[in-house]
Structure 1
């Protein structure tokens, strides 16, 4: 697929598959779901992804097998990229898809790259005014910005789960583990930009990130942003950087974007006695 505009010098293999939105995935399904004797379908794509015959047969039970296999490939292969998918479509000779969906795919990739640029650039300000970075963003920051406060882990949580966050603070900070957690409502100075400060803390100030999973988490735009931002960092090491924690039963499906990472499950009564020890060691490693 020829890349135009901002994408002409971009390696498509550097853009994760998560950049492709719902519309593009639905269009791919419309092309690949129907079986045809004259064109390769989703099963041929599955072979390119190195799925076995039995695995592909299992995907046939899905209402939308193309969507299911894309989601599974994205979870199992953390190097799943837009470039990799385009190369596979070329290998199975679906040049019609590459041509017809080129504009939509490029638009999604441009949006993804723009978001990454916005996250990496500091806000434009009058140099005579102290920025949040130079004057400090957490309550214990050095006001000169010379010694930023660092943490063992950033805690991603929604407000309704704050009681468990308090227990986490007691167990991990005040007990013998002596870890230092970044809890937004406790540690971040008011008046700062939620998105830019979250990005700064996750990427530069915290070694790990704990994601507290609950039904309420699934509805939180802040948690969604923080999780996706953390997953976009250092793709080769992201499984070790992010630790999902499930502390109560859920009525809704577990988020698929995290299903490839081992969860620390507080709801399992049989292993609850080891919960805090396992979590503390994961944060120290």
Structure 2
């Protein structure tokens, strides 16, 4: 990717390059409803969201930011250049002109970080020639054999501590029955002493076929759950591989997370479908 200041192809710069300050300023332009100028609803429609999805976004405090996050999560065909093109097609050149200096600065920082990550680390000969005894990120779970094949799982369970009773029930229903699925439950399966974010990323990306997200009011306030969910979504934009399965097991008072609204939910709170709940969930996790 060319990232020289004068040669940046914005069509190749992912939307993640835009920091929160730019996203919030976009909201200042697009969140108010206009009778003449195109607002966030027109942008969401241009992005491919349907009527019901757009109506759901109305409850968001900042619908513009929410739409950008969901657009980024549901498809790989997103970029800074595509966003600017959409704004121009909607006759919002005023936004493009006013925010272009800030956008260019965000892109410059993004490209600088890419270049920095691509540079090899500086090492002295003694360190460079030292061969580690154990491969990186092996020996991270209770049943891992550092000298053998890493332990693999059918699903990573994303949950907060207040929902752990339901996680225990999930273990009984899915592991200790005829389904015989293997779940990755962080508090049970991960050895202490490792970097939480590094190990979590390794497990979600390389060790677990899928991820079950236990949704609750407490989940919405958990930084760890937020990281795990967004990381898993980044691995399967648009949920084309059915990697994420949201589960609701108790009534919620807060709005359902907008970033997961386009996924089919497994709802334990509905009495009419509760009898099928574990069978549906088990079959979804048993898929190749």
TM category (shorter chain) comes to 0.7 to 0.9
Where 2:211 maps in the other structure, the secondary structure is strand
Q: Trace 1:65-104 onto structure 2 (pairs within 5 A).
A: 67=64, 70=67, 74=71, 77-79=74-76, 81-83=78-80, 84-104=82-102
Match of 1:133 in 2: 136
Match of 2:8 in 1: 8
Between the aligned partners of 1:220 and 1:102, the Cα distance in structure 2 is 34
Greater shift, 162-171 or 72-81, is seen at: 72-81
Greater shift, 238-247 or 17-26, is seen at: 17-26
The alpha-carbon deviation at position 111 of structure 1 amounts to 5.8
Q: CA RMSD in A?
A: 4.0
Between the aligned partners of 1:3 and 1:102, the Cα distance in structure 2 is 16
The alpha-carbon deviation at position 55 of structure 1 amounts to 7.5
Which segments of structure 1 move beyond 4 Å, counting only runs of 4 or more? 2-5, 17-22, 39-44, 54-66, 106-115, 124-132, 236-239
* Unaligned 5+ runs, structure 2: none
* Unaligned 5+ runs, structure 1: none
The alpha-carbon deviation at position 74 of structure 1 amounts to 2.5
Where 1:248 maps in the other structure, the secondary structure is coil
Residues 149-179 of structure 1 deviation map (CA, whole Å, 9 limit, x = unaligned) = 1100000011111111111111100100010
Between the aligned partners of 1:218 and 1:26, the Cα distance in structure 2 is 21
Structure 1 length as normaliser, TM-score? Answer: 0.78
Where 2:175 maps in the other structure, the secondary structure is helix
Residues 81-128 of structure 1 deviation map (CA, whole Å, 9 limit, x = unaligned) = 23332221132343342243234435556569959x98xx9xx99846
The alpha-carbon deviation at position 60 of structure 1 amounts to 11
Report the count of equivalent residues: 275
Contact 1:28–1:66 (CA under 8 A) maintained in structure 2: no
Match of 1:183 in 2: 185
The alpha-carbon deviation at position 254 of structure 1 amounts to 1.0
Distance of aligned partners of 1:143 and 1:278 in 2 relative to their CA distance in 1, 3 Å threshold: same
Distance of aligned partners of 1:179 and 1:194 in 2 relative to their CA distance in 1, 3 Å threshold: same
Match of 1:149 in 2: 151
Contact 1:42–1:65 (CA under 8 A) maintained in structure 2: no
